[in-house]
Amino acid sequence: MIYVFALIAALAFIILGIVRWKIHPFFVLLVAAIGYGFVTGMSVPAIISSVNDGFGSIMGKIGLIIFFGVVIGTVLEKSGGAMVIAARMLKLIGEKSVHLAMMLTGYLLSIPVFADSAFIMMNPLNKALSHKAAVSFAGTSVALALGLMATHVMVPPTPGPIAAAGILEVDLGNVIFWGIIVSLLSLVPSYFFATKIASKVKLPIVMEKAATAIHQPQLWTSLLAITVPIVLIILKSFFDYPDFALQTHALYPVISFLGTPVIALLIGVALSLLLPKELDHTVFSANGWFGEALKTAAPIILITGAGGIFGSMLQNSGIADLITGSFSDLNIGLFFPFLLAACLKTTQGSSTVALITTASIVAPILPALGLDEPFLKTMTVLAIGAGSVVVSHANDSFFWVLTQLTGMDVKDGNKTLTLGTLVLGVSGILIVFLFSQLFQ
Does an H or E element contain 41, and which? Answer: none
Over the stretch 268-279, which tens digit does the pLDDT of each residue have? 999 999 989 888
Can you give the pLDDT at residue 195? 95
340 has pLDDT over 70: yes
Is the residue at 286 inside a domain? yes
Mean pLDDT of the chain: 88
Is the residue at 30 inside a domain? yes
Is the residue at 326 inside a domain? yes
Backbone angles phi, psi at 318, to 5 degrees: 95, 10
Over the stretch 392-426, which tens digit does the pLDDT of each residue have? 988 888 998 899 888 898 899 999 999 999 999 99
211 has pLDDT over 50: no
Is the residue at 211 inside a domain? no
Does an H or E element contain 69, and which? Answer: helix 44-79
210 has pLDDT over 50: no
Is the residue at 108 inside a domain? yes
Can you give the pLDDT at residue 159? 87
Over the stretch 345-369, which tens digit does the pLDDT of each residue have? 988 888 998 999 899 989 888 888 8
Higher pLDDT, 217 or 377: 377
Mean per-residue pLDDT, 372-382: 95
Q: How far is CA 399 from the centre of its chain?
A: 16
329 has pLDDT over 60: no
Over the stretch 22-68, which tens digit does the pLDDT of each residue have? 888 899 999 999 999 999 999 999 999 999 998 998 888 788 888 99
Q: Provide DSSP, 330-368.
A: ---TTHHHHHHHHHHHHHH--HHHHHHHHHHHHGGGHHH
Name the band, by pLDDT with cuts 50, 70 and 90, for residue 120: confident
Can you give the pLDDT at residue 365? 84
Distance (Å, rounded) from C-alpha 264 to C-alpha 432? Answer: 27
Distance (Å, rounded) from C-alpha 336 to C-alpha 328? Answer: 13
Is the residue at 434 inside a domain? yes
Q: What is the pTM of this model?
A: 0.85
Mean per-residue pLDDT, 165-189: 95
Is the residue at 107 inside a domain? yes
Name the band, by pLDDT with cuts 50, 70 and 90, for residue 320: low
Name the band, by pLDDT with cuts 50, 70 and 90, for residue 174: very high
Can you give the pLDDT at residue 310? 86
- In whole angstroms, how far apart are CA 341 and each of 18, 28, 82, 299, 335? 15, 17, 30, 20, 10
- In the chain, pLDDT over 90 holds for what percent of residues? 43
Range of the domain at 398: 2-204+217-439
Can you give the pLDDT at residue 32? 92
**Contacts for 237 with CB less than 8 Å, ≥ 6 apart:** 171, 172, 173, 174, 177, 259
171 has pLDDT over 80: yes
Into how many domains does the chain fold?
1
Is the residue at 248 inside a domain? yes
Name the band, by pLDDT with cuts 50, 70 and 90, for residue 370: confident
Over the stretch 70-108, which tens digit does the pLDDT of each residue have? 899 889 888 888 888 888 877 888 767 889 999 999 999
End-to-end CA distance of the chain: 34
